[in-house]
């Protein structure tokens, strides 16, 4: 390339100060300090904490990426600050700068360097996605990174739960709250989310109306709730305590108020709670549709006549499929 062959090597001009070396030294010191601070001081406090296996994984990912990106940020900022101070136009200097049009080695190093960093990040992300069993994100109806022993068939999901087996919790998003169904405990449905400590939890997230997103913040779980879709996410709560659940996908008027609190408890506490709730809700559970991965809210088994919308005679695509869920200011 004719234009780039006339380039001079940065910093190679004899006589002048070695700008490259100065910038390198500033970069080395500042980025080392930044990385140490991030790893040791900031790292342990980074969200979303270490309450569950997936939260720990996410904290690790955020920490590692912060450590990797800090030197990049420091390099660019150090270079800009240095350039703006040293190479600013002096009073009365109307001359143009040196006509440097490029530098083949610098460009090659830059392109190779950024490519290596980027590919390394992609490999890291993929590995941590697999080892952490999906990192708490919704994997859709056919998860490929399930934890050992996770059951998927409906029949297995409704078999009674015992410690050591993954706990199946169905998260049902609806405007504007989440309800939780425990198929391994007779399929009761409650507004309280309780999880046993140290046991894998399998969230089967679905929706009755529009798209919601089940975000258990401290557990590092986020999975969209789509109507007619079973979206599976895994996590293993490690510590006892409360956590926040928020809807993370705009779902209408009261999206902002769609939150509740869950709790991680010890296994005996959980079993006691589940047993008591199952008994107290038995009358309600009998009226609910049988446990399934998704639900059609227009079909209510208590009305034996069939789909609710039948009364208008409009059930097909020519029909009128949303009216009962129209958002009305409560």
Partner 1 sequence: MAIETEPGTIQHPGGGQPGAAGQVRAWWMRPGILTAVAGAAVGYAFGHWLGNYLASGYPNLLLSDNSDTPIVIGYVFMVIGWLIGLGVFNDLFNQMRGKRLVDYEFRNGADTGLARYFRFTLDHKVVGIQYLVGMVIYFCTAGLFAMAIRTELLSPVHHVFSSSVYVEIVGEHGTMMMMLMTSVILGPFGNYLVPLMIGSKRVAFPRLEALSFWLTPLAFLILLSAILLGGFHMGWTGYASLSVQDASGVDAYAFAFGLMGISIILAGFNILITVICYRAPGMRWSRLPMFVWGLLGTAVMMTLAGPILVGAMYMLLSDRTAQTAFFAARLGGSTYLWQDLFWFFGHPEVYILALPGFGIVLELLPVFCRKPLFGYKVAAAGIIGVTLLSFFVWQHHLFNSGIDPDMRPLFMLTTELISIPTGFIFLVGMGTLWKAKIRFTVPMLFCLAFFWNFLIGGITGVFLSDVPADTTEHGSFFSMAHFHYTIMGGLIFAFMAGCYYWLPKMLGIKLNETLGKVQFWLMFLAFNSTFLPLFAVGLAGQPRRVFTYARNLQTLNDWVSISAFFLGFSILLFVINFVWSTVVTREPEVGNPWQSRGLEWQTSSPPPAHNFDHVPVVLSDPYEYGVKDGPPVADLNPPPGVLTAAFSAPESARAEA
**Interaction residues for partner 1, span 239-268 (CB under 8 A):** 244, 246-257
d(CA 174, CA 226): 10
**Residues between 151 and 210 with contacts to partner 1, criterion CB under 8 A:** 205, 209-210
Whether the bond between 224 and the residue before it is cis, its omega within 30 degrees of 0, is: no
- Choose the stretch contacting partner 1; rule: CB under 8 A; options: 24-32, 41-49, 151-159, 164-172: 41-49
Neighbours of 211 (CB within 10 A): 15
d(CA 121, CA 117): 6
Per rule CB under 8 A, is residue 325 in the interface with partner 1?
yes
Candidate residues 37, 129, 152, 292; the one interacting with partner 1 per rule CB under 8 A: 129
Query: Of 282 and 320, which CB lies nearer to partner 1 in the complex structure?
Result: 320
E strands along 101-176, which residues? 167-174
Neighbours of 297 (CB within 10 A): 16
**Residues between 17 and 36 with contacts to partner 1, criterion CB under 8 A:** 19
Per rule CB under 8 A, is residue 121 in the interface with partner 1?
yes
d(CA 219, CA 242): 10
Let me know if 88 is exposed, middle or buried by CB neighbors in 10 A (0-12, 13-18, 19+): exposed
Candidate residues 21, 29, 33, 100; the one interacting with partner 1 per rule CB under 8 A: 100
Tokens of 68: 């990797």
d(CA 260, CA 244): 6
**Residues between 57 and 76 with contacts to partner 1, criterion CB under 8 A:** 57-58, 60-62, 65-66, 69, 72-73, 76
- Choose the stretch contacting partner 1; rule: CB under 8 A; options: 163-171, 184-192, 221-229, 272-280: 221-229
**Residues between 73 and 92 with contacts to partner 1, criterion CB under 8 A:** 73, 76-77, 79-80, 83-84, 87-90
Per rule CB under 8 A, is residue 228 in the interface with partner 1?
yes
Tokens of 176: 């504007």
Min dist CB 178 to partner 1, Å, is: 14
């Amino acid at each position: 390339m004719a234009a780039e062959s006339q380039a001079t090597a940065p910093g190679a001009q004899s006589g002048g100060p070695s700008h490259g070396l100065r910038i390198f030294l500033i970069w080395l010191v500042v980025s080392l300090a930044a990385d140490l601070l991030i790893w040791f001081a900031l790292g342990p406090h980074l969200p979303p904490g270490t309450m569950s296996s997936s939260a720990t994984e996410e904290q690790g990912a955020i920490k590692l990426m912060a450590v990797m990106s800090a030197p990049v940020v420091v390099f660019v900022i150090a270079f800009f600050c240095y350039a703006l101070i040293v190479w600013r136009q002096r009073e009365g200097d109307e001359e143009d700068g040196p006509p440097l049009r490029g530098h083949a080695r610098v460009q090659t190093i830059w392109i190779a360097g950024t490519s290596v960093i980027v590919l390394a990040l992609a490999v890291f992300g993929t590995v941590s996605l697999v080892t952490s069993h999906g990192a708490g994100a919704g994997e859709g109806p056919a998860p490929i990174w399930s934890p050992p022993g996770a059951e998927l068939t409906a029949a297995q999901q409704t078999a009674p739960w015992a410690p050591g087996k993954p706990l199946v919790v169905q998260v049902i998003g609806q405007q504007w709250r989440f309800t939780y169904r425990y198929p391994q405990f007779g399929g009761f449905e409650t507004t309280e989310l309780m999880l046993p400590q140290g046991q894998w939890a399998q969230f089967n997230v679905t929706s009755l109306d529009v798209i919601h997103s089940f975000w258990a913040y401290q557990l590092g779980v986020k999975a969209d709730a789509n109507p007619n879709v079973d979206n599976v996410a895994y996590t293993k709560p490690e510590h006892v305590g409360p956590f926040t659940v928020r809807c993370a996908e705009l779902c209408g008027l009261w999206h902002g108020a769609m939150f509740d609190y869950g709790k991680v408890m010890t296994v005996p506490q959980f079993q006691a709670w589940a047993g008591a709730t199952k008994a107290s809700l038995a009358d309600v559970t009998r009226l609910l549709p049988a446990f399934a991965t998704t639900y059609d809210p227009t079909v209510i088994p208590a009305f034996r006549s069939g789909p609710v919308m039948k009364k208008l005679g409009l059930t097909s695509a020519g029909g009128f499929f949303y009216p009962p869920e129209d958002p009305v200011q409560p």
